[in-house]
Amino acid sequence: MKKTGCLILLLIAAALPASPKLFSPAYSNLGHPFMDVAVTPGAIVPLFADADLYTVGASAVVTGELKISSVPFLYTHGEIGYSLIPVRAESLLSVVPLGVGMDFKINVLPRLEAKAAVSGGYYFGALHSSPFLAEGEAIWDGNPYLSLRAGSSFYLMPTISLGLEASYANYFGLVHFLGVSLVGSYHIPIQGRAPVEIKSVEVDRLFPVLYQFYDREPPGRAVIANTGRFPVSGIQASFYLDPYMSRPTVWEIEEALAPGEEREIELQMLFNDRILAIVEEAKFSGELVLSCECFGQRHETRRILPVEIRDRNSLTWEDDRKAALFVSEKDPNVLALAGSTVATVKRSRLRPINPVFRMAAGLHSALSVYGMSYISDPNSPYTEVLKDGSSIDFLKFPRQTLSHRAGDCDDLTILFCALLESVNMETAFITVPGHIYAAVSLGITQEEAAKLFTSLEDLIFLEDKTWLPVEVTELDGGFLVAWQLGAREWREHRESGEAHLYPVHAAWELYPPVGLPAGGSGFDPPAPEEVLGLYNEELIAFVQQELEPKVEECQRRIAASGNHPKEINTLGVLYARYGLFEEAKDEFHRVLESSEYVPALVNLGNIYFLEEDYDSALLYFDRAHAVNPTSANVLLCLARTHYQLELYEKTREYYTRLKEVKPDLAGRFAYLVVRTKEEIRAQEFVSFGREVVWEEE
């Protein structure tokens, strides 16, 4: 029997480290210790031969238990007990054990705790109240003892539990018995200690410009642990950083936390735009509050955290798309400059390619006239910070760049993109090793581009879009030089895979733009006449560069065809595409002298349409429609012209017929018949950037 007891003990000792679940990392650090005091009164039944000596007795053990903080579920305890065992000689045996031991406790249900314990120590036994002894005489002796207990307790409240326990005890050399006991435990509460604790907190260095990004990507993490003995639920966390949050950010942690369990949570932070007022790096105090529910009561724990916030212009370049944060398209100064430039561009007689191309040229010219200049950031040049993605760069908001009239490559790129985006033109960042510059989507396909540009290698074709690269740091050499430089840099690094293009709209999905909260008034745009002059110079140079060889080729074909209307119309379209409307009109009229050639009628109408002479345009579209009533392009032109003339019945009539003839084309111009507020707003831009389809055979 004694050997069996030893074997049980050794098995328990061996089983403890063998359980991987017990010592999993999530349960490895349990924080503060628990302290319990338990009283176990009960009955004991001597076993085997001892039953011939003793009858059923009573016992009580007082146990003081201390949780071993570093080992889950394990307690150590000290105990003192008293057993009174009747001896079958009209006598009584008293035994007082004094020992230590270990308990293994686990909550099988939230309030139900199972327990196994092993104890050992030394006992003192005394035979007394015996007729075999003189009155008052007692015989005592002592020896080691071992006891094993198992049972369960139900928590009536967090501090009190009641349960039942079965036990085996061997008082070596005296008696061994089985016992059944009630267990009353008092679990000593530790004042001010919540069952859930914040084990560690880590808050990233915050960048004001990312404050909206943090809504989705929390910049901090905390490890929380249930250091209590019961599961906790309803866990709620809040974080507050005054004054950069309007109110504490509160969020729920859905899953309950088991005793001993640790969990990493993200620290959610909803900042307001006051954070953009920070112009110098500083440390602030934030407060993390964690609350949970346990036994119907809420508990709360708080932690004050130091939060380091960089100035509003700081950023790291782990992701080049972060530059999109600074592309504040709605900045008043940006809108002012862009609006001024739009007006200037519209005043120009030259209208080559398309509005995007012209706006890019116009804005580049405006920046040149404005006196913008490129200057490398002496503290954190883009070239250097790119080598280490975690290094902090200083980026300017467009307003700041306009105010300073200077910036490095990232500042000028951001400004240029913001200006273009403010007039709804899609832009992108191009990064090559050590450098960043801008690109703008021309809104045409590669096929269309082939008709407009002699050298397609100066453009970037990605995902059905045609991008015009602009080296915005090149402000002195003019738009065309900036374009050529941008195209060359792309070509040089494209093969090696070191050139990347990041559309700003896509970047905004991750990094929404941030605008400076106040200010922006008092901006003085550059003189329109100067801008217009520079702009025209650029376009004339471009037209001359692009148009002359093409005109020569067309004239050769006209001569070769014997003045065929098709070839003359092609020359007219060429002039029209480059904005030389008078030359184009001459060619189309030259065609119409001989016949009602529909493409020439349509193209002539297009020119008047673009010149906003809608009545004249309508005249030519009607003539074309008379010749070819089923032409989708003619139907579209009629609908659009009537729309401009605010003749909506006619617009609807022609649109309906267009829809029957060419539904996909009709779908692109649905605004003609559906006028929501958004579409009307879109129309305001379309009225500037409207396109026409030049008709050729």
Chosen residue from 30, 44, 61, 93 binding another protein by CB under 8 A = 93
Chosen residue from 109, 132, 405, 446 binding another protein by CB under 8 A = 132
Strand 406-407 with 373-374, pairing: parallel
Number of other CB atoms surrounding residue 661 within 10 Å = 17
β-partners of residue 104 are: 74, 116
Site for another protein, residues 262 to 321, rule: CB under 8 A: none
Q: Considering the complex, state which of residue 130 and residue 236 has its C-beta at the smaller distance from another protein.
A: 130
Q: Considering the complex, state which of residue 91 and residue 424 has its C-beta at the smaller distance from another protein.
A: 91
Number of other CB atoms surrounding residue 627 within 10 Å = 14
Q: Considering the complex, state which of residue 140 and residue 186 has its C-beta at the smaller distance from another protein.
A: 140
Q: Which residues contact 401 (CB under 8 A, 6 or more apart)?
A: 372, 407, 411, 412, 414, 415
- What's the one-letter identity of residue 274? R
CB of 49 to another protein, least distance (A): 10
CB of 171 to another protein, least distance (A): 9
CB of 89 to another protein, least distance (A): 4
What is the spatial distance between Cα 140 and Cα 136, in angstroms, rounded to a whole number? 13
β-partners of residue 149 are: 117, 167
Tokens coding 453: 């540009």
CB of 194 to another protein, least distance (A): 24
Chosen residue from 26, 106, 130, 212 binding another protein by CB under 8 A = 130
Tokens 């009353």 belong to residue = 184
Q: Considering the complex, state which of residue 141 and residue 457 has its C-beta at the smaller distance from another protein.
A: 141
Work out whether 168 is an interface residue with another protein (CB under 8 A): no
Residues 61-90: x/- map of binding to another protein (CB under 8 A)?
Answer: -----x-xxxx--x-x----------xxxx
DSSP string, 621-673: HHHHHHH-TT-HHHHHHHHHHHHHTT-HHHHHHHHHHHHHH-HHHHHHTGGGT
| DSSP-derived secondary structure letter, 231 | -
What is the side-by-side strand order in the sheet with 282-294? 249-253, 233-240, 282-294, 297-309
Chosen residue from 44, 146, 325, 417 binding another protein by CB under 8 A = 146
Site for another protein, residues 28 to 47, rule: CB under 8 A: 28
Work out whether 175 is an interface residue with another protein (CB under 8 A): yes
Q: Considering the complex, state which of residue 143 and residue 200 has its C-beta at the smaller distance from another protein.
A: 143
What is the spatial distance between Cα 417 and Cα 428, in angstroms, rounded to a whole number? 7
What is the spatial distance between Cα 303 and Cα 95, in angstroms, rounded to a whole number? 51
Chosen residue from 14, 108, 134, 674 binding another protein by CB under 8 A = 134
Q: Considering the complex, state which of residue 141 and residue 660 has its C-beta at the smaller distance from another protein.
A: 141
CB of 78 to another protein, least distance (A): 9
Reduced to 3 states (helix: H, G, I; strand: E, B; else coil), residue 500 is strand
Work out whether 14 is an interface residue with another protein (CB under 8 A): no
Site for another protein, residues 100 to 119, rule: CB under 8 A: 100-102, 118
What is the spatial distance between Cα 288 and Cα 238, in angstroms, rounded to a whole number? 6
Span interacting with another protein, options 122-130, 178-186, 258-266, 364-372, rule CB under 8 A:
122-130
Q: Which residues bind another protein (CB under 8 A)?
A: 2-3, 5-6, 9-10, 13, 17, 23, 28, 52-53, 66, 68-71, 74, 76, 87-91, 93, 99-102, 118, 120-121, 125-127, 130-134, 139-146, 172-175
